[in-house]
A and B are shown apart, each in its own frame.
Chain A
Amino acid sequence: MSQLWIMLALLMGLAVVVVCWPIVGVYFKRPANMPRVRDYWLMSATLMVFIFVSFGLYAQLGESEALARKQQTDQMPQVESLILQLQQQVKKDPDDSQALFFLAKSYMAVEKYGLAASAFDQASVIVGPNAELLALQAQAMFYAQGLKPSAQVDALLAKSIAMQPEQATALSMLGFMAFHSGDYSEAIIQWQRLVDTHSSESKNDTAAINLDLVKQAIQDAQQRLTKSLNQSLVVDEQSKAQTEQAERRQVNLLVTIDEGLRALVSDTDTIFIYAQALTGPKMPLAAIKISAKELPVALALDDSNSMLVSNKLSNHSNVQVWASVNFSDVPGLQSGDLYGHIGSVNTDEKGTISLIISEIKP
C-alpha cells in the first residue's frame, strides 16, 4: 500500500516541479524586474494549500484504505493453498507435530473431518498422550461419523478428561454430545463445568472456545430441559387418569339358565363365564369358572379375573360376553354345549346385565 502513496507523492512532486519551474527560471535569469519577497511567500503559501487540499480531497474521495484492506485479504493464503503447503511440510518432515496440528485444524476448517482425525492422531503419536489432542481427535471423529457417538469417541474423551479434568474441548464435546442425544441435564452439567473452570482464568485451550457461546448453549439446554419436563408431567397425569379410569372397568352379570334347558344340566357341570374382545384374538379377557348348581349367579368380570397381563378387560371399552356349559370340559364350545351370548357390552357402565344360557351349540 505504501507503494500507492509513494506513487501519489511522486505525482505531487511532479506537479510541484511544473508549478515551480518559472521560479527557477527567475533565479537563473535574474530579470530586471525581480519578484518581491512577498511574491515568494504568497507562492509558497499557495503551493502548501495546493498540496494539502489535493491530499485532503484524495483522502475523502480515494479508496486507498479500502483498497489496502482488499489487497491484504487478497494476499492472505487461501485455506486450500495453506493445506497444500502444510501437506508438503509434513511430507518433508513427518515428525513435525506442529505442522500436523495445523494441518488437522485446516482440515477441520474445510470440513474434512476424517483427515483431521487421523492428523490429530498422528500428532498425538509424536507428542505423546496429550489431553487436548485427544479431545480434538474425538471431536473430529464425532463429526466424521456424522454426529454419532461411538465407543472410540467416548474412550478418547474419557482419556482426555482423566488426564486433565477441566480440558475445555473435551468438556465442550461431552456437553455437545449429551445435548445432541437429548440429554439436556447432562449437557448443562458438562458445559457448566467448562464455564466454571475457565471463566476466571485464561487458559490456552479455551482460546478456541467462546465462553459466551457456551453460556448461551447452557441457556438453550435449560429451556429445552424445562420444556421436556413440563411435557413429561402432562403425559404422566394423563396416563394416570386413564389408568384409574381403566381400572374401574368391569362387567356386572346376572347369569341364569333357560328353564327349558335346565334339565339338561347337572349340578356338577362346569359353567365358564368370560369376556372376549369384539375383534382380534379369541382368548378371553377375563373369565370365571363356576358349577351349575350355583346358578343363577351375580358376578363381575374385571381385571382381577384377567388371564393375560398384556390384554386386560380394562383395555377395552366394549366387549362380548359368553356363558357356556361345556360338557366335554374342553375350552371352546363343542357341538351340544349350551351357551348364552351378548354381542357388545360397555365396560364403563355399572349396571348389571342379564346373561341367559339359552342356546345349544349345533
Chain B
Amino acid sequence: MIPELGLFSLIIALGFSLAMSVILLSGAMAGNHFWISFSKNLALGLFGFLSISLIALMLSFVGDDFSVAYVANNSNSKLPMPLKVSATWAGHEGSLLLWVWILGGWICSVALFGAQLSEVFKARVLGILGMVATAFILFTVLTSNPFERLLVNIPLDGGDLNPLLQDVGLIFHPPLLYMGYVGFAVAYAFAIAALLSGDLQHNWTRWVRPWTNCAWAFLTLGIMLGSWWAYYELGWGGWWFWDPVENASFMPWLAGTALIHSLAVTEKREAFRSWTLLLAILTFSLSLLGTFLVRSGVLTSVHSFAADPERGLFILLILGLAIGGAFILFAFKAPASKKVTYELGSRESFLLFNNLVLMVILISVLMGTLYPLVIDALGLGKLSVGGPFFNSFFVPLTIVLTILVGLGQTTKWRKTNWRNLRTPLIVVFISCVVLSAAIIWLANLTFSIWAMLGIGVSLWVVGLSGYEFVTTKLKHASGWKALVSLKPSYIGMQLAHLGLVVGVIGVTMVSLNGLSVDKRMDVGETVSLGQLEFQFMSMDRVQGPNYISDQGTFRVTNESGKELHMLAEKRSYSVGGQVMTEAGIDASFTRDLFVALGEPLGDGAWAVRLQYKPFIRWIWGGGILMALGAVIAALDKRYRKSTTSQGIHA
C-alpha cells in the first residue's frame, strides 16, 4: 500500500505545482491578492506531498518491497540499511524524485523566508518555480514512475545496488549536486519574474544573491564529493577525469560562478543588468542540460537515447520550453542598458574580465563535451575528447582567472587610483616570484614553469588580499575590532578566494610532484617510490556483509623510518558478481599514500599501483572553503532587509 500512497502523493504534488503556476501567475498578473494569498500554502503543500512521496519510496526500500520495480532493480535484502536508504536515489526514477523534492524544498524556502520580497513579485517567482516543478513532476509521473509495480512474478530478492554506488559518497553526492542544480532554478525564476514584471529598475539582484550563493555552495560541495568519491572508489587515484558526466555538473558551476560575480556588480553598481539576467537563465539552462545529458542516457551512448526516446524527448521539450521561452522573453523585454560609467581599471572591469574568462572556459568545456556526441549522433564515428584537450585551455585560463581575482579584489568600484597601487603590485609580484622559487627549492620540488605559476598566482591572491585588508579594513579600526566588524559578505568573499588558492596549490602539487608506479608484486616483496618503501606483507580472504574480499596488507616505511600499515582490497559482490577495487589510502594534510590492487597475476603475485599524492586533500579543502565562503556571504544582513516599501509591483 505504501508505494500506492507515494504515487498518489506525487500526483497531488503535481496538482499543487500546477495550481501554483496557474493561480499565482494569474493572481500576480491581475493583482488579485486573494489568489496570491495561497502562495505559502501551495508551496507548503507541494513540498509536503513530495516529502510523503519520497518517504514512501524510502520505506519501500527499507521494507524490501520488491513488488516495486525500481526497488527490485536497485536494492537487495542483504544491503546494509544506510545503503538501502541511499539506493532511493541510485537510479533514474529515484533521482528524479529527489530532484523534484529538492525543488519543492527550495520553493518552500522562498515562500517561507522571502519575507523581504513584495507579495506580487514573490507570487510571480513562485509561479515560475511552480511551472518548472510541474514539468519535472509530470516527467517523473508519466515517464519515470518510481512506484511502478511488478505484480506478476515478484522477485524474491532484488537485483542489488551497483557496488560502485555502495558507498557513503553516493549517499550525499547526488543530493548535494541536485541542491545546486535545482537551486539555480530560484535565480532563474527571479530573472524571469523580473522580466515578466518589466520593472527592472529595482534591484531584484539583491534578493537573489543569497539563494544563488547557497545553490552554488551546494553544487561546489556536490562536485567536490563526486571528485573525492571517484578518487577512492573508482580505484585508480584520479580526482578529475573530464568525463562528460563531470562536465555536465561543472558547466553550471562555471556559469554560476560568473553569475555570483555579475550579480555583485548589478547589485552594487546597477551595471551588467542584461548580462546578469542572461547568466541567471544560462546557469539554470546548463543545469537542465546537465540533467538532460545524464538522465536521457545520451552520455552513455547516443543510441541509448533512442532506446528510450520518450524520456529524452520529454526532457528535451522541457529544455526547449525553459530555455527557449526564457531567451525569447529576454529578447523582447531585456532592459535597455543604463549608462553606468566605470573605467578600464575599475573593479567592474576586472569582474567583467573574470566573467569573460569563465565564459571562454565554459564554452570550451561545452564544445569538448558535446562535440563527440554530435559526431556520434551524425554517425561519423566515435571519438573521445580527453584530458589533454581540456587541460590545454583550462590550466592557463585558470591562472589568468586567479591573477584577475587578485586584481579584482584590490581595485575599487568605478575608478581605481593606479598610482597608489603601482608600488604594492610590484612588491607583491616580486615577492611571489622569489617566494615560489624558494618554496620549490626548499621543499625539494621538481622545478617547472607551471609549478612557478601555480604557486606564484596563489601567493599573488593571498598577498593582494592581505594588502587590501590592511589598507582598507585596518585603516579605520585596529586588530580584533577590525576583524569583528567585518561583514559576512566580505568574509565570505575572502574565504571563497582563499578556497580557490588552496585548490590551485593542491592541483599544482599533485599534478607536478605526485609519484605513481604500477608493479607486479609478490607477497614479501618491497618496492620503492621516491623515499618511501612499500612492502607487500600478506594476502587474506575476508568475508564482508554482501561481498568476499581479497585483502592485501602493505607496510609502508617513510623517509624518517616511520612505519604504517595499509589495506587494499579487491571485492567480489555475491549478488551481481561484480568485482570492485577498494584502494588503501593513508591520508594526511600534506600528502596521501595510495595503494590499489589490480589483477592477480598467478603464483600469489598481484598487479599493484602505488601512488604518492602531495597536497591532494587541498583540492577538496579548497572546494569546502569556497562553499563555506558562499554560505557565509549569503548570511549578510543586507540581503534580509525588507524592501517591500520600495519593492517590485506588478
Spell out A's residues near B (CB within 8 Å): 3-4, 7-8, 11-12, 15, 18-19, 21-22, 25-26, 33, 35-36, 39, 46, 50, 53-54, 57-58, 61-64, 66-67, 69-70
Q: Does the CB pair B19–A58 fall under 8 Å?
A: no
27 A/B residue pairs, CB under 8 Å, sorted by A = A4-B1, A4-B4, A8-B4, A8-B5, A8-B8, A11-B9, A12-B8, A12-B12, A15-B15, A19-B42, A22-B37, A22-B38, A26-B34, A35-B34, A36-B34, A39-B32, A39-B34, A54-B8, A54-B12, A54-B14, A57-B141, A58-B7, A61-B11, A61-B141, A61-B145, A62-B4, A62-B8
A19 & B19 in contact (Cβ 8 Å cutoff): yes
CA A134 to CA B367, docked complex, whole Å: 87
Given A15-B16, A35-B34, answer yes or no on A67-B45 (Cβ-Cβ < 8 Å): no
Is B49 engaged at the interface, CB distance under 8 Å to the other chain?
Answer: yes
B41-A58 in contact (CB<8A) = no
* A86-B321 Cα distance, complex, nearest whole Å: 67
What is the distance, in angstroms, from B459's C-beta to the closest C-beta of chain A? Answer: 56
Contacting pair B1 A15 (CB below 8 A):
no
Residues of B within 8 A of A66 (CB): 149, 151
Q: Does B641 contact A (CB under 8 A)?
A: no
Contact of A63 among B15, B22, B42, B151 (CB under 8 A): B151
Closest residue of A by beta carbon distance from B149: A63
B1 touches A7 (CB 8 A): yes
Main SS at interface, chain A: helix
Contact of A11 among B8, B14, B141, B149 (CB under 8 A): B8
* Total A-B pairs, Cβ < 8 A: 81
Contacting residues, chain A, for B7 (C-beta < 8 A): 58, 61-62
Query: Which residues of chain A are near B5, meaning CB under 8 Å?
Result: 4, 7-8, 11
Residues in A neighbouring B14, C-beta threshold 8 A: 54, 57
Q: A15-B12, A19-B38 are in contact. List 14 more A-B contacts (CB 8 A).
A: A3-B1, A4-B1, A8-B4, A11-B12, A18-B41, A26-B34, A46-B19, A46-B22, A50-B19, A61-B145, A67-B1, A67-B151, A69-B151, A70-B151
CA–CA, A25 to B34, complex, Å? Answer: 11
Chain B contact residues: helix, strand, loop or mixed: helix
- Taking Cβ atoms with an 8 Å cutoff, the residues of B that contact A are 1, 4-5, 7-9, 11-12, 14-16, 19, 22-23, 32-35, 37-38, 41-42, 44-45, 48-49, 52, 141, 145, 149, 151
B11 near A57 (CB under 8 angstroms)?
A: yes
- Do residues A15 and B151 form an inter-chain contact, with CB atoms below 8 A? no
The 5 A-B pairs with the shortest beta carbon distances in the complex, nearest first, are A35-B34, A18-B45, A63-B149, A66-B151, A22-B37
Q: From residue B292, how far is it (CB to closest CB) to chain A in Å?
A: 23
Taking the nearest CB of chain A, how far is it from the CB of B21, in angstroms? 12
- Neighbouring A residues of B23 by C-beta, 8 Å: 46
Cα–Cα, bound, A132→B637 (Å): 93
| Chain B residue at minimal CB-CB distance from A1 | B1
When distances are taken between beta carbons in the complex, the residues of chain B under 8 Å from A7 are 1, 5
Which residues of chain A are near B12, meaning CB under 8 Å?
A: 11-12, 15, 54
> Using Cβ atoms and an 8 Å threshold, which residues of chain A touch B49?
11, 15
CB of A159, distance to nearest CB on chain B (Å): 47
Tell me the smallest distance from the CB of B16 to a CB of chain A, in Å. Answer: 7
Of chain B, the residue at the smallest CB distance from A64 is B4
A97 to B291, CA, bound (A): 70
Partner of B44, one of A3, A18, A33, A57: A18
Chain B residue at smallest Cβ distance from A66: B151
Chain B residues lying within 8 Å of A39, measured Cβ to Cβ, are 32, 34-35
Question: In whole angstroms, what is the CA distance A26 to B33 when docked?
Answer: 11
* CA gap between A299 and B12 in the complex, in Å: 115
Among A3, A22, A50, A57, which residue has its beta carbon within 8 angstroms of that of B41?
A22
CB pair B8–A58 under 8 Å, yes or no, is yes
Closest beta carbon of chain A to B154's beta carbon, Å = 9
Closest Cβ neighbor of B45 among chain A residues? A18
- Check A18/B11 contact, CB under 8 A, given A7-B5, A35-B34: no
Contact at B15–A53, with CB atoms within 8 Å? yes
CA distance A15 to B4 in the complex (A): 16
Q: A26-B34, A35-B34, A67-B4 are in contact. Are A54 and B149 (CB under 8 A)?
A: no
Q: How far is the CA of A3 from the CA of B35 in the complex (A)?
A: 35
Task: Write the chain A residue with the least CB distance to B7.
Answer: A62
Nearest to B34 among chain A residues (CB) is A35
A67 with B149: CB separation less than 8 A: yes
Q: How far is the CA of A36 from the CA of B32 in the complex (A)?
A: 10
CB-nearest residue of chain B to A40: B34
- Complex Cα spacing A339 to B375, Å: 108
A13 to B45, CA, bound (A): 12
Compute how far the CA of A39 lies from the CA of B36 in the bound complex, rounded to whole angstroms: 12
Tell me which residues across on chain B come within 8 A of A62, comparing CB atoms: 4, 7-8
**Whole-angstrom CA separation of A53 from B138 in the bound complex:** 13
Cα distance A39–B41 when bound, in Å?
17
CA distance A3 to B14 in the complex (A): 23
Bound state CA distance, A15 and B37, in angstroms?
16
Cβ-closest chain A residue relative to B3: A63
Contacts of B149 in A (CB 8 A): 63, 66-67
Cα distance, A68 to B429, chains bound together (Å): 77
A64 to B15, CA, bound (A): 20
Q: What are the residues of chain A within 8 A of B37 when measuring CB–CB? A: 22, 25-26
Name the A residues within 8 Å of B1 (CB-CB): 3-4, 7, 67
B residues near A69, Cβ cutoff 8 Å: 151
Report A10 CB to chain B, min CB distance, Å.
Answer: 9
Question: Which residue from chain A places its CB closest to the CB of B38 in the assembled complex?
Answer: A22
In the complex, which residues of chain B have a beta carbon less than 8 angstroms from the beta carbon of A26? 34, 37
Q: How far is the CA of A58 from the CA of B8 in the complex (A)?
A: 6
Complex Cα gap A78–B495 (Å)? 68
Structural contact, A54 and B38, CB atoms closer than 8 A = no
Bound-state Cα–Cα, A86 to B38, Å = 62
Give bound CA distance, A102 to B19, whole Å.
Answer: 59
Report the nearest A residue to B12, measured CB to CB. A15
Closest Cβ–Cβ distance, residue A7 to chain B (whole Å): 6
Q: Which residues of the partner chain A approach B11 to less than 8 Å between Cβ atoms?
A: 54, 57-58, 61
A12 CA to B38 CA, complexed, in Å: 17
Give A12 to B9 CA distance when docked, in angstroms. Answer: 8
Q: How far apart sit A26 and B34, CA to CA, in the bound complex (Å)? A: 9
Q: How far is the CA of A12 from the CA of B42 in the complex (A)?
A: 14
Q: For the complex, what is the distance from the CA of A3 to the CA of B5, rounded to whole Å? A: 11
Q: Give the Cβ gap from A239 to chain B, nearest Cβ, in Å.
A: 58
Q: Of A25, A57, A64, which is in contact with the most chain B CB atoms at under 10 Å from its CB?
A: A57
Residues of A within 8 A of B33 (CB): 33
Query: In angstroms, how far is the closest chain A Cβ from the Cβ of B168?
Result: 34
Tell me, rounded to whole Å, the shortest Cβ–Cβ distance linking B126 to chain A.
14
A contact residues around B15 at 8 Å (CB): 15, 50, 53-54
Q: What's the Cα separation between A67 and B38 when bound, in Å? A: 36
CA distance A25 to B33 in the complex (A): 13
Chain B nearest Cβ from A283, distance in angstroms: 74
Distance of A25 Cα from B8 Cα, bound (Å): 28
Q: How far is the CA of A61 from the CA of B8 in the complex (A)?
A: 9
The CA-CA distance from A160 to B32 in the complex, in Å, is: 88
Q: Give the CA-CA distance A157 to B641 in the complex, in Å.
A: 100
What residues on A are CB-neighbors of B16 within 8 Å?
15, 19
Point out the residues of chain B lying under 8 angstroms from A35, CB to CB. Answer: 34
> Closest approach, in angstroms, between the C-beta of B287 and any C-beta of chain A?
27
CB distance from B514 to the nearest CB of A (A): 53
Q: Please give the distance in Å from B57's CB to the nearest CB on chain A.
A: 15
Q: Which residues of A contact B42 (CB under 8 A)?
A: 19
Residues of A within 8 A of B52 (CB): 11
| Chain A positions within 8 Å of B22 at CB level | 46
Complex Cα distance, B6 from A61, in Å, reads 12
Contact between B41 and A19, CB atoms less than 8 A apart: yes
Assembly CA distance A94 to B414 (angstroms)? 106
Residues from chain A with Cβ under 8 Å of B9 in the complex: 11
Chain B residues within 8 Å of A4, by CB? 1, 4-5
CA A66 to CA B154, docked complex, whole Å = 13
